[in-house]
Amino acid sequence: MVRARDTPYLVKVAVFDSGLSIRTSKELVVDHIRLLDILLRAAYNNSAIKKIPLLIDELHHGNVQSLRKFAEDYWHIKSSPDFSEVLSWSIYCREQIALEDNFLEMHLDSAPHYSTKYRFGQIGKQQIFKALNVGIDNSLQAVNTFETKTVIIAGSLDPIVSDRYVTATASNFSNATILTVPGMGHAVWHQSKCTRKNIVMFFSANDSRKSAKLRQCKDGIHLFE
């Protein structure tokens, strides 16, 4: 990703069937931002999601090499071939969707510009919630008792962990986890018990929203200003 800041990469992304033969593939010329987007999409589409809590924990303990290993191990496998409009989109996960045996289906129909459906591993989802100290019962609560945990993944030259990136009117952002990794766009992931909704947002490092403040709306949903 560091090298891709200066020289775009030609990458081939393939979707495999159960027999490990290529079902569909697409060649893309990508810069460092899109390269990382491919990495994240691959992670959310396969077993790599189970590694994310461990990655967060290792970064907390100063093991910045864990990100490189994660990228080397997982960025290139089983990703979606459709990468249009990848720098600004949201995933809305409504918790009332019934859980299947192994997967929680992610419905994106509420995002008018992006309707692809994703599947998260149920175990991986629970592990992420545990790693972020977020309850998994997702019961509705009054706004004055609502809790939110936030993960910010922001673009920078060196991987660091900081707890001073987010400013917000709500004090419950004081425990936010911020991961800053090489040469990528910004991503925000947060889960709110109050709204029964998980949100993942990606946007370009050059986007004006990179310095935006999170605010608490009257209905308890945190959005960008």
Is 221 a residue whose pLDDT tops 60? Answer: no
Domain that holds residue 118: 3-224
Do 182 and 157 meet the contact criterion of CB atoms below 8 Å apart? Answer: yes
Is 36 a residue whose pLDDT tops 50? Answer: yes
Is 82 a residue whose pLDDT tops 50? Answer: no
Q: How confident is the model at residue 15, as a pLDDT?
A: 56
Q: How confident is the model at residue 137, as a pLDDT?
A: 39
Please give the full DSSP string across the chain, using - where no structure is assigned.
Answer: -TGGGTS-EEEEEEEE-TTS-EEEEEEEEE-HHHHHHHHHHHHHTSGGGGGHHHHHHHHHTT-THHHHHHHHHHTTSS--S--TT-SSEEEEEETTSPP-SSEEEE--TTSTT----EEEEHHHHHHHHHHTT--SS-----GGG--EEEEEEEEESS-EEES-S--BSSGGGTT-EEEEEET--EEEEEEETTTTEEEEEEE-TTSGGGGPPEEE-TTS-EEE-
| Mean pLDDT along residues 73-84 | 32
Identify the band that residue 52 occupies on the pLDDT scale cut at 50, 70 and 90.
low
CA-to-CA dists, residue 19 to 24, 48, 165, angstroms: 13, 19, 44
Q: Domains in the chain: how many in total?
A: 1
Q: How confident is the model at residue 213, as a pLDDT?
A: 32
Q: Which of 63-67, 156-160, 202-206 has the lowest mean pLDDT?
A: 156-160
Mean pLDDT, the chain, integer: 40
Give the pLDDT confidence of 3-30 residue by residue, as tens digits: 555 566 666 656 555 555 555 666 666 6
Contacts 24+ apart (CB under 8 A), 57-60: 57/131, 59/159, 59/161, 59/179, 60/161, 60/177
Name the pTM for this structure. 0.20
